[in-house]
Amino acid sequence: MQRFPTFRKGGVHPDDKKSLSSPCAIERLPVPSELIVPLSQHLGAPASALKQKGETLDIGEKIGKASGFISADVHSPVAGLIKDIRKVTLANSVVCDAFVIAVDAKQPVKVWEEQPYAHLSGAQIISIVQDMGVVGTGGATFPTHVKLMVPKGKSVDALVVNGVECEPYLTADHRLMLEETDKVLQGVMIVAQAVSPKRIIIGVENNKPDAIEVLRNAVSQKGYPIDVVPLKVKYPQGDEKQLLKATIGREIPSGKLPIDVGALVLNVGTSFAVYEAVALRKPLIDRVVTVSGEAIASPKNIRTYVGTKVVDLLAYCGNPKERYEKMISGGPMMGFAFFDDQTPITKGSSGILVLDNQKELDAPTTACISCGRCVAVCPMGLQPTKLYKLIEHRRYEDAMKMNLMDCKECGCCAYTCPAHIPLVHGMKLGKKLGRK
């Protein structure tokens, strides 16, 4: 039997629930009548507004300017009128300014023509990626141009493309690999043109054999120097640290970044966005979102504009079958619970889930029985039960000494805890308060 590589320490095997939406080809949502486009769709400082209430907008026009080194530009996905600029609360609880845009229903469809890019230097590619507002679409939303700026004295040995999509239910990247294979690969090669890696690897978990096959066929047809590596299914393999261990056998030391071990990690969706930015000069104004969960009447993978309200996506999927109180943005392990269906999609929204197993998720907390399961599954080698107790007693400094900041908030500990202790919530709180 063939053995597939994976990371060694910890990890869990939740039911992947991907069959709900993985057969569903990407559909495009009809343009909604109104979008809410936030100025904070990325890690780092929010963008500053470049437009005012009452102004009209063209498709792709820049409406927000990055306001720091780690920040990203924001563009209007549609032609329309700025009805308002107001505060919104995003699914991840970030509160920021957002443009409320009345969409011009008569806008002609914009055709983004392919332009030559083979002659571009690394610096030119990075500048275009920055100008087009590209950020990591896997959820972390780190500005991509910053990631591509390799620090002086360092170099990229391995460019590792993340096609893992290990969170249950999510299938947006899977569908992109199947349906936009060539554009994803062109995006990877554009990144390679910018950072000159010695080798390129795409890691895909072996629960997506069709994606592995189409990628391998396309790579061999085009003669790309890319190695498509099937990985054993294990959560959280999509995390940079676990992915690098699984694909190139390198460990990122505590407090260090992938580039410190000669690696650059980029998500499949981000590679697609880089292709669109550099080859089409198209800003990151839309993305594929998986809408799924047992309570969704008709799960789908939908290409939609950033700024689309969740209520519009749910209506397109036939609205939930049951009354629901909360939704999840992202996957069930690392995603954010939110309650307002007027919440907009952002550049980092990989999925919207409405589950019917809320009872299980909301099970009452009981006392810790010191079973040690949380310690066994922590991929970062932490002691979640001890950390939680320290945080409960406000001993943040002691928790920091036990490497609390290494916690990836992956949720493996809480997933496995028989006492339903909100361990991840505790880690997030401890990190926030311990930093002060």
Q: Indicate the helix (H) or strand (E) that contains 335.
A: none
Q: Would you say 200 and 161 are in contact if contact means Cβ atoms under 8 Å apart? A: yes
User: Out of 192, 200, 274, 424, which residue is the one contacting ligand SF4 (CB under 6 A)?
Assistant: 424
Interface with ligand SF4, residue 408, by CB under 6 A: yes
The residue (of 218 and 405) whose beta carbon lies closer to ligand SF4 is 405
Q: How far is the CB of 322 from ligand SF4 (least distance, A)?
A: 29
What residue ranges in 274-394 does DSSP mark as E strands?
Answer: 286-292, 300-305, 327-329, 336-338, 351-353
One-letter amino acid of 37: V
Interface with ligand SF4, residue 385, by CB under 6 A: yes
Residues in Cβ contact with 301 at an 8 Å cutoff, skipping those fewer than 6 apart: 21, 24, 25, 26, 27, 171, 172, 175, 288, 289, 290, 291
Q: How far is the CB of 372 from ligand SF4 (least distance, A)?
A: 5
Q: How far is the CB of 202 from ligand SF4 (least distance, A)?
A: 25
Reduce the DSSP state of residue 367 to 3 states and report it: coil
| Stretch 41-60 residues interacting with ligand SF4 (CB under 6 A) | none
Interface with ligand SF4, residue 434, by CB under 6 A: no
Determine the Cα–Cα distance for residues 108 and 145; give it in Å rounded to an integer.
30
Interface with ligand SF4, residue 422, by CB under 6 A: no
Interface with ligand SF4, residue 376, by CB under 6 A: no
Closest CA to 264 of 244, 283, 285, 288: 244
Determine the Cα–Cα distance for residues 149 and 158; give it in Å rounded to an integer.
15
Interface with ligand SF4, residue 252, by CB under 6 A: no
One-letter amino acid of 384: P
Interface with ligand SF4, residue 279, by CB under 6 A: no
The residue (of 125 and 417) whose beta carbon lies closer to ligand SF4 is 417
Interface with ligand SF4, residue 409, by CB under 6 A: yes
Q: How far is the CB of 224 from ligand SF4 (least distance, A)?
A: 34
Interface with ligand SF4, residue 363, by CB under 6 A: no
Q: Which residues are near ligand SF4 by CB under 6 A?
A: 368-374, 378, 380, 382, 384-385, 407-413, 416-419, 421, 423-424, 427
